Structure 1
Amino acid sequence: MKIVIVDDTPMSLTMLQYLVRKLPDCEAICFTDPQEGLAWCGANQPDLLIVDFMMPDLDGTTLVARFRERHHDVPVLMVTANHDVALRHEALQKGVTDFLNKPLDNVEFIARARNMLALRKNQKLSYDRISWLDEEVRKATRQIVEQERSTIFCLAKAAEYRDPETGSHILRMAHYSRHIARVLALSNADQELLLEAAPMHDIGKVGTPDAILLKPGRLTPEEFEIMKQHAEIGYKVLSQMRSPLLAAAAQIAYTHHEKFDGSGYPRGLTADEIPIFGRIVAVADVFDALTSARPYKKAWSVESAIQFLIDGKGKHFDPSCVDAFLSDWDEVIAIRERFADDESANETSMALEVHA
């Protein structure tokens, strides 16, 4: 353990260094210049500071006060011939742990120093224990997050197998959503949460009858009412677990079909009544759905889809979300190219790319 000794009297310094050698597994670092001693402590981690009270330029009490700015828990032993109670009280308030009187009693010095070092060892053991516990918590949290991601992946794949939309659509709209969130200056944590939760937006379609879900033509009004139920079904499925990720996914499933002017479903929310995640996903999902081919429709041109978004500002869509989506078009194109539909629209890409 490193014991720093600061005393402007060489003879006293030599005596203290001699006594420290009697302590097991200890190294004495000695300074006659208090400024040099303080500088060393600023760049290193001592285990005990032994400091003289009376020193020129920088007295022991002032040195300890400055030492405490960096080292809050390291024990400090002050050596002094001054018995003034007020001065000792001041030194204790500035961070001195204990005192030794001059002339030194060698036995007392060894005993007090050992006590101080035992205190320091217990502190370090406690810090090590806290660090270990922190790491264990981080490991457990990572496992929970990975489990949640696996749940998201499996549920999204279950919906995909019943829905004519492709896995690439899910990836594109999720990354479009993060792109919008980034431009809107949402926090990095919210951007990542949105990226991971957005793929669950249509999970409620697992409860939609195949005759409606896979119908190649336009739905009748009665069929559309049944189709609309997928928003509430998705919310009910995802809200069963208390998890920030699944809670966000539930919110998105419930609100991404709401419209800015209140004409959407399932609750007819308007403007800021619609959570920001729902407003963002509405833009990302519609754009990709329009520009993607389906068994029941041809893909729209990008230009037509852009115009649809622009025409829908303030009606279907939050204008700020549309503007954010269109503001960095190079990023949109990069996402389209990265997750282009192909014959291998593979499952592993969802597992790996959705949180890339």
Structure 2
Amino acid sequence: MRIVIVEDSSSNLAVLCRMVGHINTSLQNDHVECVGFTDPLKAIDYLQESACDLVITDYLMPSVTGLELIQMLRGMPAHQHVPVVIVTADADRARRMEAIRAGATDFLTKPVDPIELRLRVANLLELRRAQNVIARHADDLAEQVRIATQHLARREEEVVFRLARAIELRDGDTGGHVDRVAESSRIIAETMGLDSGFCRTLALASPLHDVGKIGVPDAILNKPGRLDDAERSVMQKHTTIGAEILAHADSDLVQMAAAIANSHHERWDGTGYPHRVAGANIPLAARITSVADVFDALISERCYKKAWSLEEARAEILRGAGTQFDPTCVAAFEKSWDKIVALMARDYASSNKSAA
């Protein structure tokens, strides 16, 4: 264990170092390393770079007092709880109270009694060892909690992913639509400068935008051709069905997925469905997903339409800014166009390779 001693008198410093240099604590025979300084400013520089287990400092020193040294020491994260002993010839109670308020742990009165010094130092080193054990235990618990939380997050992600896959297959699409919507949504959100937590949750939640299609009859869901008005009315219910499936969740991810499922067909101008809300009243996650979903739907072949080219779909998204889509989301889509194109190229290349 390491003890730092600060004493402006070199002879007194040598005596103090000699007194404590061979102390063995009662729990373990730890080697005690003594590092001494006659200049408190050099001691402060040293402590900013190196850890220690105990500080012994003189009270009256010419450049920095022991009280000031303690205050600076307590401002260092690594030394906020390190025991500090003040050595002073002054027994004034007010001065001692001032030192305690600054963070002093114990006092020794000059001239220092060697036996008392060794006993107090040994006790304080045992205190420091106990602090270190508790700190390591806390770190171990924090790591266990981190691993468990990470495990739960992965399980949540897996459930969401598999549910999204099931919906995709029922919708007759095996071309990775939900993966591309997830990644496109994340790219748009990142370009908008949204925080990493939101972007991650969005990428996981957006694939569930069409979960409500579970409640749409196959004859309508996979009809080769345009839907009539009655069929379209049934199809549009997939938004509210999806919201009901995902409602009342404790998970932030599922709450966002519910908002997306309910609102990804709302329009910026208020003419969308199911609730005809407009502008910023549409949840941001749904506004972003709407751009990604429509774009990918346009460039994908469906039983009722041919695939559009990337440029045709891009132009359609840009035309919809301010009417169908949030202009800010469209601007982010346009700004991140190169990333979107790279994503599509990579995904379709991977799909073709898998098919081969």
Shared fold (TM-score greater than 0.5)? yes
Displaced runs of 4 or more, over 4 A: 343-346
How far apart in 1 are the matches of 2:207 and 2:227?
A: 24
**2:229 is aligned with what amino acid?**
P
How far apart in 2 are the matches of 1:167 and 1:196?
A: 18
Q: How does 1:272-291 map to 2 (within 5 A)?
A: 272-291=280-299
**What residue in structure 2 maps to residue 40 of structure 1?**
46
RMSD across aligned C-alpha pairs, in angstroms? 1.7
Q: How does 1:118-129 map to 2 (within 5 A)?
A: 118-129=126-137
How far apart in 2 are the matches of 1:61 and 1:303?
A: 71
**1:46 is aligned with what amino acid?**
C
- Which piece of structure 1 moves more, 179-188 or 142-151? 179-188
Deviation at 1:345, TM superposition (A): 5.8
**What residue in structure 2 maps to residue 234 of structure 1?**
242
Deviation at 1:271, TM superposition (A): 0.8
Deviation at 1:32, TM superposition (A): 2.1
> Which string of whole-angstrom CA distances, capped at 9 and with x for unpartnered residues, describes residues 325-349 of structure 1?
1123211211110111735668xxx
How far apart in 2 are the matches of 1:243 and 1:171?
A: 21
Q: How does 1:241-256 map to 2 (within 5 A)?
A: 241-256=249-264
- Which piece of structure 1 moves more, 87-96 or 183-192? 87-96
Deviation at 1:178, TM superposition (A): 1.4
CA contact (8 A) 1:168 1:345 kept: no
* Matched residue SS, 1:314: coil
Distance of aligned partners of 1:344 and 1:227 in 2 relative to their CA distance in 1, 3 Å threshold? farther
**What residue in structure 1 maps to residue 311 of structure 2?**
303
Unmatched runs of 5 consecutive residues or more in structure 2: 25-29
CA contact (8 A) 1:287 1:306 kept: yes
Deviation at 1:6, TM superposition (A): 1.2
* Matched residue SS, 2:112: coil
* Matched residue SS, 1:79: strand
Deviation at 1:67, TM superposition (A): 1.9
User: Does 2:160 correspond to 1:152?
Assistant: yes
**1:77 is aligned with what amino acid?**
V
Q: How does 1:63-212 map to 2 (within 5 A)?
A: 63-70=69-76, 71-212=79-220
Distance of aligned partners of 1:320 and 1:345 in 2 relative to their CA distance in 1, 3 Å threshold? farther
- Which piece of structure 1 moves more, 90-99 or 273-282? 90-99
Unmatched runs of 5 consecutive residues or more in structure 1: 347-356
CA contact (8 A) 2:60 2:66 kept: yes
* Matched residue SS, 2:86: strand
Deviation at 1:188, TM superposition (A): 1.6
* Matched residue SS, 2:302: coil
CA contact (8 A) 2:295 2:317 kept: yes
Compute the TM-score of the two structures, normalised by the length of structure 2.
0.92
**2:90 is aligned with what amino acid?**
N
How far apart in 1 are the matches of 2:345 and 2:73?
A: 57
How far apart in 2 are the matches of 1:312 and 1:81?
A: 81
How far apart in 2 are the matches of 1:239 and 1:132?
A: 36
**What residue in structure 2 maps to residue 354 of structure 1?**
none
**1:68 is aligned with what amino acid?**
R
Deviation at 1:301, TM superposition (A): 2.7
CA contact (8 A) 1:80 1:100 kept: yes
**What residue in structure 1 maps to residue 222 of structure 2?**
214
> Which string of whole-angstrom CA distances, capped at 9 and with x for unpartnered residues, describes residues 15-34 of structure 1?
22222134212211112222
**1:121 is aligned with what amino acid?**
R
User: Does 2:15 correspond to 1:15?
Assistant: yes
**1:2 is aligned with what amino acid?**
R
**What residue in structure 2 maps to residue 57 of structure 1?**
63
User: Does 2:303 correspond to 1:265?
Assistant: no
Deviation at 1:236, TM superposition (A): 1.9
How far apart in 2 are the matches of 1:22 and 1:326?
A: 71
CA contact (8 A) 1:167 1:345 kept: no
**What residue in structure 2 maps to residue 353 of structure 1?**
none
Compute the TM-score of the two structures, normalised by the length of structure 1.
0.92
* Matched residue SS, 2:144: helix
CA contact (8 A) 2:168 2:177 kept: no
How far apart in 2 are the matches of 1:65 and 1:304?
A: 67
The number of residue pairs the alignment matches comes to: 346
> Which string of whole-angstrom CA distances, capped at 9 and with x for unpartnered residues, describes residues 41-85 of structure 1?
111111100111222222222222222221211110011111222
Distance of aligned partners of 1:270 and 1:188 in 2 relative to their CA distance in 1, 3 Å threshold? same
* Matched residue SS, 1:55: coil
> Which string of whole-angstrom CA distances, capped at 9 and with x for unpartnered residues, describes residues 257-299 of structure 1?
1111222111111111100111111111111101111122111
**1:58 is aligned with what amino acid?**
V
**2:236 is aligned with what amino acid?**
K
Deviation at 1:115, TM superposition (A): 2.2
* Matched residue SS, 2:237: helix
* Matched residue SS, 1:340: helix
How far apart in 1 are the matches of 2:354 and 2:324?
A: 30
- Which piece of structure 1 moves more, 227-236 or 208-217? 227-236
> Which string of whole-angstrom CA distances, capped at 9 and with x for unpartnered residues, describes residues 193-231 of structure 1?
111111111111122111111110111211111111211
